[in-house]
Amino acid sequence: MIYLKERYLKEIKVKTDGQEGVLYVTDDAETAETLRSQGEAVLVYLHTGNTEQDFSNFLFAVEDPEGLEPEYVERVYRRLKGLPWHILETPRCLIRETTPGDVEDFYRIYSHPDITKYMEGLYPEVEQEKQYVREYIEKVYTFYGFGVWTVVEKESGSVIGRAGFSYREGFEDPELGFIIGVPWQRKGYAREVCRAVLSYGAAALEFTKVQALVETENTASLKLCGQLGFYRDSAVRLNGKEYYLLYRTKSSR
C-alpha cells in the first residue's frame, strides 16, 4: 500500500478471464476521481477522517480495506470494468450475468415460436434490447446483486438460454424464471440449471421461499417445476391469461 500526504492508496491485483488488472482502494476523493478518469477501477475506503469528502459518484465503498475477500474484490472489479459476474457452474453450463453482446443470441433463441408461446418476446429492434440490458446491469444487477442471467454451454461456448430470479409487481417473493433454446431442449439442461440456480438462491441469496408463475397450459414447465420441488398454491389471472402460482420452500425441497 502507499500513503501520499497521509492518503491511503492500495493496489490489489485481480485476475479475470486470463487477464490481469488492478483494483485501487483509496480514502481520498481527489485521488479516486483522478484514477477513475484514467479508466481505473476504484474502491473507496471510508473512515472517520474522510467523512467530509464527497464520494457520492462511486459505486462501492468499504470500511475495512485490509479484510477484503477475493470474491468480493473480483466482483467489484468486474462491475467497474463492465465485465459480467460469473454466478455459478453446473457440469455442463456456466451461468453468468447478461451482457449486451448476448442479445444477438437471444434473438436467435426467441425466433422459434415455441419460445414465445408462453413468455414475452424481445424488443422489436436489437439496439432497444441492448439498451435494456445496459440499464438492467446498472439498475438490477448492481442494486440487487442478482437477476435473470445468461446460460452458456461450456463445451461449445454457446449461449443456450437464460435463468435466474426477479420480483414481479404485486408479489412479495422472488420468482424463478428460465428459458432454454429449442435446439438444447429435452437434454436435461433446464433441470440442471434450475436446480443449481435454486440452490444458489437458498445459499448465497438466503431465499427461504421462491415462486413460479406458469401458464396452466404449459405442461412441460409445470412438470419441471414439480421435479424441482415446487407445489401448486393457487390459480391466478394476469393480463388475460391463466397461471398457476407455485412455491418452493426449504421444507418442500
Q: What is the mean pLDDT of each run of 10 residues along the chain (253 residues)?
A: 68 93 96 96 96 95 95 96 96 98 97 91 96 96 96 98 97 97 97 98 97 96 97 95 95 61
Q: pLDDT at position 7, please?
A: 86
Q: What angle do CA 197, 201, 203 make, to 5 degrees?
A: 115
- Per the CB < 8 A criterion, the answer to whether 212 and 246 are in contact is yes
Contact assessment for residue 75 and residue 82, using Cβ atoms and an 8 Å cutoff: no
Q: What pLDDT is recorded for position 231?
A: 97
- Strand ranges (E), the chain: 2-4, 7-16, 19-26, 41-45, 61-62, 86-89, 93-96, 148-153, 159-166, 175-180, 209-215, 231-238, 241-249
- Among residues 70, 127, 138, which one has the least CA distance to residue 103? 127
Q: What is the pLDDT of residue 6?
A: 63
- CATH 3.40.630.30 range(s) for the chain read 86-252
CATH superfamily of 86-252: Gcn5-related N-acetyltransferase (GNAT) (3.40.630.30)
pLDDT at 3: 47
pTM of the model: 0.90
